[in-house]
Structure 1
């Protein structure tokens, strides 16, 4: 790795941010966190600044700027305080970082991700919505600025590693994304009617935030990843597939035209993917142990059940429709998952709400970011207004 890598960690107080900072801290001679951002958790952000001593800290909530500035000053830190989306975009695009870990959850992470791509940075992409909501736009911007995108989702990171085994394009027969199946794998649709938010966020293999955990439980997470893979790797839907693999050790597979299938395996720990992104093309220590297949014993695979988990089917359909349909899917899902986590609707209402919103907004061309954000807002309003029809009894 040539020189010191200067890294902006967006979403630093979340689980992916914590993993990224853990890897960065293991290599103080090669990399440094220079920009840290958070949504509204000032105390947590200041605590991270005490540990990692970045040059800049950004809080998305502009009303908490004074609190952040005061906290940094009281901690005796030279870290500069900033607030708001404009400040974050400027820092991401500026000379203070060459690498950006994009781990802000939801559509809120889109602007800063696009800013990093437009500035030609190495982009460690953990924000699904950037590709789901605006995949064509993001890839166009990244290619135009010669930005390097390294996906941090374990599945896409596995595909990235497998694809780097060859020189030419067009030799891929099929890309297979693996899914753990979530905490409700094997349950019938009827059995899912009464599951609780606490059960849905208790993922059997991965430590993730509540929204992503629910997406894993509904298989929407895998649906979003299909759309991401379509854009990231430039492959049509007919070359994409999903296999349920409950051990979560095979992170994805790539089948080539010569009959070879390459798979990437490892323990379920995001630090491996982050280390790939931070060190590539070199391999660096991540803090993750190697995989002992004798201890693991067996690897199982099965087809996904799209009757019990219709979110995967809905994502396939949105990917095939293209244009603004994935943006509608994503927005409706965010609103529905939030309502579920608040205890306002049942688990099966999530796909029902998403399907209804997709039917009401069949989609159109994704011509600009403004058009996509307008559709995103419209889909959120429609889904929110439909929640009362799916509300749980008081």
Structure 2
């Protein structure tokens, strides 16, 4: 992609048809020719040392939003309570159809990190705190695959990777902005979430097709991060660096556990071997819990409503209410009792009082729990 000329204003800048097409196809007005083609587009924007953002785009990549992070906290990774900085100070955050690109000029070179959208499982936004006026930043928080982050992060010693992977279940990429509106961060999250879901739907099918029998029909697929197998007092926890796919079919329940070092592990459970199934909902993680043959299998699921539908279907199959080829009826009403809700709210209140959760995090989770009743 070429740049034929430049000046201080976009309207006076001669740009290639290719650059103009990128600007016109962007879903947000923050993508301009100036931001794409100049290393330092304005005094309050990002400052790159080697090349403009345009030169860091891959073939077929379309930018949809370009924001500026200039807070001291910058861009951090939060893993198991620990925070590690990726980029601090003035950095560009470019969201494309393929990834989130983080770029900053340092001395005479550029530091570039990126997170593939297909490695992002979800996220949230946080607005400036009304209780603490000094914290006036908007935040975009993305929950991402550790493998995707650690492969790119510039400020993490690679010798720490194994230790981090063993200790952490999930990672948060926390991007702080001080010159954007809440609408900008909400747009960013909505776009990333929608695009990530498209990737996920493709990945689901690709990862499980090889394990499906010819005469077997898929009822539901759940995506998560962790699997646990309990027998007596012993628990075998398996962090799945490549994801846990819990597959409910018309003949069985099986989990594809993509372990980073040991490779893929498959756990098969036929319906006639299942003694009980429950939905275990904690403050952070939700598990489909299945008792079979003296063991308890717990498979993490990101989506609470999908997990509830899966539990309902499995219960009907194990109780003989559905035959092999039957599809699930409309799910039963909440399998969670009022007592369960009260316990979760009490646990949430305890975490808040201990300072584990901020006021904003507490209120957000409280509303989420109440909304599920």
TM-score bracket for this pair, using the shorter chain length:
under 0.3
- For normalisation by structure 1, the TM-score amounts to 0.26
Q: 1 or 2, which has the higher strand percentage?
A: 2
Considering Cα pairs closer than 8 Å and 6+ residues apart, tell me whether 1 or 2 has the greater RCO.
Answer: 1
Larger radius of gyration: 2
- For normalisation by structure 2, the TM-score amounts to 0.26
